[in-house]
Amino acid sequence: MTAPVHTREFEDAIRITPLSSHTYSADLSTQWSVGSAPNGGYIAAILHRLSTTHFKNTHPARHSAQPMPISMQLSFIRRSAVGPAYLTVRDIKLGARTSTIQVTMSQANPPASPTSPDKLDGSNIKVAGYITISDPVSEAGVTTPCSWKVHPPPPDSKPPQLSSAQDAQPIANSPWKKTIMKHAEFRRASANTELWEPVDPRLDERRAISDQWSRLRPLGQKGGLGRWTNESVAYLVDIFPVALGNLEDLTVKDMGVDPPYWFPTIALNIDFKKPLLSGGLEWLYSRITTKAIRNGRTDIEVVVLDEQGEVVALATQLGLIIPSTRNTGGKQKAANQPKNANL
């Protein structure tokens, strides 16, 4: 069997199994987690796959049999865990050009019958949201360039030029350097991506702005160098270790708790602007911006571009800044640590 362009490792991680016309199951992987909690972008990728699978299985005649999410609004209600998850779909609107579904991801403790997720009470729901679906045939209308550009511009508009694609060694005088992951064991989800940051990040001037080029490179026997697909873009919009490292540096000064810190996603909105073709793309650029940090809450905006400078996806995220002990199950308490037991 030919491996998907985003690698068999990623495909296995987002696999879902239909249980009925509107219920499905998934198995959340520790390899795509932060501490003990699956990464929010990884969960978004699973829900992306859920939406396309649901339409192909339950509504095969709709959207030209080519359903594609164009928008996702997700709320991360409680911390999820590695292991089985139950996914439910409610058809809110089935339209000619767009359809909208409501999705939930639940994890029961102890697990309820996977064929009866309606029996799960509210305390089992980890993620809920809405996904809007369209298709390439219906997506017809005005297309025009806008005057928006990335500002300030990145050090180079092209991805790193490498002497060897596999060894990932940059050519001499490259403006990009390979990112050395901090706390890689804690932030395992980020380790599945090869990231490149500016050699000169100008932190004093642009601490709230980060640039990165990235290639999908999942770990594991079925991983290796892959290509970005529509589903893996949903994961990419929540992967930005340099930006989180900058936030972490500021947080350590204020809270006096040793890193790493956990930055759980509370809400994630994704607008998919340009569908990727079946062959995927090797490189994607991300501009990550934070506008204000207040009371332990962050706002993060991510713009994803291809090599031609066209917008592939836009994402906005509400997150929290929490000591990692809240994630890993440690008992240590921090002076300003939030007390929300649901996180």
Task: Give percent of the chain above pLDDT 90.
Answer: 66
Tokens, residue 74: 């997700």
Residue 146 domain-assigned (yes or no):
no
Complete DSSP assignment for 145-156: --S---SSPPS-
> What does the pLDDT look like over 12-23, one tens digit per residue?
999 999 999 999
Cβ atoms of 104 and 88 closer than 8 Å: yes
> What does the pLDDT look like over 259-278, one tens digit per residue?
788 899 999 999 999 999 99
Residue 144 half-sphere exposure toward CB, CA atoms < 13 A = 4
> What does the pLDDT look like over 62-84, one tens digit per residue?
999 999 999 999 999 999 999 99
In this predicted structure, what is the pLDDT of residue 330?
40
Q: Is the pTM of this model over 0.85?
A: yes
Residue 2 domain-assigned (yes or no):
no
224: burial class by Cβ within 10 Å (0-12, 13-18, 19+)? middle
The β-bridge partners of 87 are 24, 105
Instruction: Please tell me whether residues 122 and 176 are part of one structural domain.
Output: no
- Dist CA 35 CA 188 (whole Å): 8
| Average pLDDT over the chain, rounded to an integer | 88
Confidence band (pLDDT; 50, 70, 90) for 331?
A: very low
Instruction: Please tell me whether residues 323 and 175 are part of one structural domain.
Output: yes
pLDDT above 90 (res 343) = no
In this predicted structure, what is the pLDDT of residue 139?
85
Give CA angle at 319 (212, 266), nearest 5°.
120
| DSSP three-state, residue 12 | helix
Give the CATH number, domain containing residue 197: 3.10.129.10
Instruction: Please tell me whether residues 120 and 236 are part of one structural domain.
Output: no
List the single range of 67-76, 233-242, 295-304, 328-337 with lowest mean pLDDT. 328-337
pLDDT above 50 (res 236) = yes
**What's the rounded mean pLDDT across residues 314-331?**
82
**What's the rounded mean pLDDT across residues 43-47?**
98
Pick from 172, 177, 147: nearest CA to 159? 177
- Dist CA 210 CA 287 (whole Å): 6
In this predicted structure, what is the pLDDT of residue 324?
85
Please report, as a single letter, which amino acid is at residue 140: A
Complete DSSP assignment for 284-326: EEEEEE---EETTEEEEEEEEE-TTS-EEEEEEEEEE-EETHH
Total structural domains within the chain: 2
Choose between 173 and 311: higher pLDDT.
Answer: 311
Instruction: Please tell me whether residues 122 and 241 are part of one structural domain.
Output: no
pLDDT above 80 (res 114) = no
pLDDT above 90 (res 107) = yes
Confidence band (pLDDT; 50, 70, 90) for 183?
A: confident
Tokens, residue 21: 């016309």
Instruction: Please tell me whether residues 179 and 289 are part of one structural domain.
Output: yes
- Dist CA 343 CA 339 (whole Å): 9
Cβ atoms of 321 and 263 closer than 8 Å: yes
Choose between 77 and 205: higher pLDDT.
Answer: 77
In this predicted structure, what is the pLDDT of residue 318?
97
pLDDT above 50 (res 151) = yes
| DSSP three-state, residue 192 | helix
**What's the rounded mean pLDDT across residues 150-155?**
91
Instruction: Please tell me whether residues 126 and 203 are part of one structural domain.
Output: no
Instruction: Please tell me whether residues 206 and 270 are part of one structural domain.
Output: yes
Q: By residue range, what is the domain housing residue 174?
A: 162-328
Cβ atoms of 43 and 127 closer than 8 Å: yes
Distances (CA, A) of 277 to 80, 124, 236: 31, 36, 17
Cβ atoms of 315 and 330 closer than 8 Å: no
Instruction: Please tell me whether residues 166 and 269 are part of one structural domain.
Output: yes
Residue 144 domain-assigned (yes or no):
no
Cβ atoms of 161 and 120 closer than 8 Å: no
